[in-house]
Amino acid sequence: MNAMPLAPAPEPDVLRVADIAPEALTRLLARFDMMVEHVPDGAKIPGSFWGEPEAGVIASTVYVRPDTPVHSFLHEACHLIVLPPERRALVHTDATDSDIEEDATCALQIVLADALPGVGRERLMADMDAWGYSFRLGSTRAWFEQDAEDARAFLQARGLPHA
């Protein structure tokens, strides 16, 4: 019997940057002295750690395409937000070097989802689960509600939104 190649799995149905008003992304990042740069469909996304369509980061700029998932935009933006300005300025593609920064990034992206019209934390957590984020309690919601105290303390200590 000849083996048949498996078809690639379809990408989950998650909110994309094209679903959000561009000025909402700009306003959100401006609160943290950062910028969003929109690249055209099919173009390479500068600073993307995971590759297209995932968002990219270079210094204080988050790069996205219309097909970039909103959770990816928020995640990469939050990686930069949790960093002090002197570290942020040095970032190119890979923004973190610690577990607590990664946890704080995940918690902050959930909190900041409420600042984007049409997103909100409920939808963002569902999109994170659909995309394959992995938390030891089995879901983004369970982690955020029951196991993210250290991440919230990290954010609070830096004067960042945490609830």
Could you report the per-residue pLDDT of 40-94, keeping only the tens digit for each?
Answer: 999 999 999 989 999 999 999 999 999 999 999 999 999 999 999 899 999 999 9
Q: Count how many Cα atoms sit within 13 Å of the Cα of residue 65 in the half-sphere of its side chain.
A: 15
Q: Is residue 12 one of the residues assigned to a domain?
A: no
Q: Residue 12 pLDDT > 80, yes or no?
A: no
What pLDDT digit, counting tens, does each position of 97-141 carry?
Answer: 799 999 999 999 999 999 999 999 999 999 999 998 888 888 999
Residue 51 is part of which domain span?
Answer: 17-157
User: Where are any strands of DSSP class E within the chain?
Assistant: 35-38, 56-58, 61-64
Is 163 domain-assigned? no
Asked whether residue 7 is assigned to any structural domain, the reply reads: no
CA dihedral 154, 35, 71, 156 (to 10 degrees): 10
Q: Is residue 63 part of a domain?
A: yes
The single-letter code of the amino acid at 115 is A
In the chain, % of residues over pLDDT 90: 82
In a domain, residue 5? The reply is: no
Token readout for 63 is 């790069």
Asked whether residue 1 carries a pLDDT value surpassing 60, the answer given is no
Assess contact for 103 and 151: CB atoms under 8 A. Answer: yes
Q: At what angle do helices 120-131 and 99-112 cross, to 10 degrees?
A: 130
Residue 4 covered by a domain: no
9 in a domain, yes or no? no
Task: Report the mean per-residue pLDDT for the chain.
Answer: 92
- Distance between CA atoms of 29 and 132, rounded to whole angstroms? 25
Total domains in the fold of the chain: 1
User: Is 104 within the bounds of a domain?
Assistant: yes
Q: Which residue from 111, 116, 118, 124 is spatially nearest to 72, judged by alpha carbons?
A: 124
**Predicted pLDDT of residue 10:** 53
